[in-house]
Amino acid sequence: MHVDPSRPGWGININRSGTFLTHNTNLSDLLKFAYSVHAKQIVGAPAWVDSDKFDIEGKPDKPGLPTVDQARAMVQKLLTDRFGLTFHTEKKELSAYVITVAKGGSKLKEDTSPIPGPGFGGMPARGFNVRKATLAEFASAMQAQFMEQPVVDQTGFGDTRYSFILKWTPDPTQMPGYGQQAPAPTPQAPTPDAEAPPDLFSALVQQLGLQMKSAKTPVDVMVIDKVQKPSEN
pLDDT, averaged in runs of 10, over the chain (233 residues): 59 78 90 92 95 86 76 91 96 96 97 88 92 94 91 96 96 62 41 77 98 95 96 65
Looking at the structure, tell me whether residues 84 and 138 fall in a common domain.
no
For residue 182, tell me if it sits in a domain: no
Residue 38 contacts residue 32 (beta carbons within 8 Å): yes
SS3 category, 14: strand
Looking at the structure, tell me whether residues 133 and 24 fall in a common domain.
no
Looking at the structure, tell me whether residues 20 and 106 fall in a common domain.
no
pLDDT of 117: 79
pLDDT of 26: 92
Looking at the structure, tell me whether residues 98 and 41 fall in a common domain.
no
Give Cβ neighbours of residue 44 (< 8 Å, ≥ 6 apart).
223, 224, 225
Looking at the structure, tell me whether residues 48 and 100 fall in a common domain.
no
Looking at the structure, tell me whether residues 121 and 212 fall in a common domain.
yes
Looking at the structure, tell me whether residues 213 and 129 fall in a common domain.
yes
For residue 186, tell me if it sits in a domain: no
pLDDT of 127: 95
Domain of residue 82: give its range: 11-90+222-226
Residue 28 contacts residue 224 (beta carbons within 8 Å): no
Position 127, amino acid = G
Residue 141 contacts residue 133 (beta carbons within 8 Å): yes
Number of domains in the chain: 2
pLDDT of 193: 60
Looking at the structure, tell me whether residues 84 and 149 fall in a common domain.
no
For residue 3, tell me if it sits in a domain: no
Looking at the structure, tell me whether residues 86 and 96 fall in a common domain.
no
For residue 75, tell me if it sits in a domain: yes
For residue 165, tell me if it sits in a domain: yes
Q: Are strands 210-226 and 119-121 parallel, antiparallel or unpaired?
A: unpaired
SS3 category, 23: strand
For residue 207, tell me if it sits in a domain: yes
Q: What is the pTM of this model?
A: 0.74
For residue 181, tell me if it sits in a domain: no
pLDDT of 163: 97
